[in-house]
Amino acid sequence: MTASADPFAVTVRPATADDIEPIRAIAIASWRATYAGLIDADAVERFLAAAYAPERVFVRLERHDLLVAAFGEDEQLAAFAETEAKDDHLQLVGIYALPEARGRGLGSALLDAILKGSPHIPIAADVLVGNVLGEPFYVARGFEPGELLVEEIAGEPIQERRWWWRPAGLFDGDV
């Protein structure tokens, strides 16, 4: 990446193996900040230790599409998004940003890149019910609430809502 003349410009690119440690740091900081009070802290730590161990992030890079986003003159990575192709839609596994970098357009830039890369494919994002950052983010970007899901994070049951973005002309029965 080259330095940008605009200190607020956001750069988005595919993740590489060199990004494993920054992705881990972003995930850990974001999970701890976002889910405090929503998911038991010990469950969050157990999940992070398993899901974002270096070897697991490497597997994510091999199996899914990961994008990273940076801003500022030094273009240090501050956010990432992960998607997984399903039979009938694209699953947005998550968009995570460093807490101190939120509100700078990183998540929007990542989502824009995903939408441009898959403009004719429905996209689903599962968001923890009560996530006061995630739910409004998806609503503001044209996602619609879908089914409720009961999942488990490190042994703790949680409830998520699946949010859907559908290309123009695609309806519920088409997915």
Residues 87-113 pLDDT 10s: 999 999 999 999 999 999 999 999 999
CA distances from 85 to 80, 82, 98 (A): 17, 10, 25
pLDDT in tens, 129-156: 999 999 999 999 999 999 999 999 988 8
Q: How far apart are CA 120 and CA 108, in angstroms?
A: 18
Structure confidence by residue, pLDDT tens digits, 51-89 = 999 999 999 999 999 999 998 877 889 999 999 999 999
Side by side, the strands of the sheet bearing 144-153 are 10-14, 65-71, 76-85, 90-97, 123-128, 156-165, 144-153
pTM of the predicted structure, to 2 decimals: 0.89
Query: Could you read off the pLDDT of 4-56 as tens digits, one per residue?
Result: 456 578 999 999 999 999 999 999 999 999 999 999 999 999 999 999 999 99
Which domains, and CATH codes, for the chain?
A: 10-174 (3.40.630.30)
